[in-house]
Amino acid sequence: MTIHIGADKDDIADVVLMPGDPYRAKWAAETFLTDAKCVHEVRGMFGFTGLWNGNRVTIQGSGMGMPSMSIYANELIRDFDVQTLIRIGSCGGMQPHVKVRDVILAMTASTVATPSSTIFKELNFAPCADYGLLAAAAEAAKAMDVDVHVGGIYSSDTFYDERPDLNKEMQRHGVLGVEMEAAELYILAARYGRRALGVMTVSDHLLTGEALPADQRERSFGDMIGIALTAAFA
């Protein structure tokens, strides 16, 4: 049990999927896991543990933004000895060929700053995914016939962005999408020698303005969760 995760150590599995929204964690657990049990609900940030194809999995909300992700990922790694952490969530598309409902596998995650930035001082550390997870996720997406893109993303702590110049440069350099958590997760995984991956569904698009209606989000998010679970146990 930690300050933010009110579960016993045995309640948390070695593999943890981390959506930002705690209610998405609840939906994913009820939809994909058998014998799912709510193992804690401190601050309303639900965590559920159950079985997927006989494998123990925890689905734990991370909250919005890298500071919140840092809290939960640190505690999961240091106090619960979690080995595999996969971010599942939504992102905004940033390239013309990336469509709403597509899935992005984040090979790298660029960012302006993370909670870990002060550790590196003048170094511009390049956080990246675990290759084994990334390759397995790409294979899973192919087998599921899901439109998937593998490449770099941008992790931002500013939801209401007022930097169109920065977005333009990222688009020019091939960044596929923008979200708010993956870069810090990748840094923590590198620091502690764990596996991490970001699997994101494109829910809106910065270029076209298209957005996935709320009633269609859960159905589209199912593909991303299936890919994440398959990759975790490949």
Please enumerate, by residue number, every residue annotated as part of a binding site: 4, 20, 24, 43, 87-90, 179-181, 203-204
User: DSSP character for 220?
Assistant: H
* 160/178 Cα distance (integer angstroms): 12
| Among 11, 165, 204, 215, the one annotated catalytic | 204
Which residue intervals of the chain are DSSP H helices?
Answer: 22-32, 66-78, 117-120, 131-143, 164-172, 182-192, 214-232
Which amino acid, one-letter code, is at 106?
A
Residue in the structure block whose two tokens are 């960044």: 175
The pair of structure tokens assigned to 184 is: 């810090």
Confirm if 72 and 18 have CB atoms less than 8 A apart: yes
Annotated binding site for phosphate: 20, 24, 43, 87-90
Q: Binding site residues for a purine D-ribonucleoside, as ranges? A: 4, 179-181, 203-204
Give phi and psi for 33, each to the nearest 5.
-105, 150
The conformation of residue 99, written as its DSSP 8-state character, comes to -
What's the burial of 67, exposed, middle or buried (CB within 10 Å: 0-12/13-18/19+)? middle
Task: Give the integer Cα–Cα distance in Å for 111 and 150.
Answer: 17
State yes or no: is 165 an active-site residue. no
- Residue 8: phi and psi, rounded to 5, are -75, 155
CB of 86 closer than 8 Å to CB of 198: yes
Instruction: Give catalytic residue positions.
Output: 204
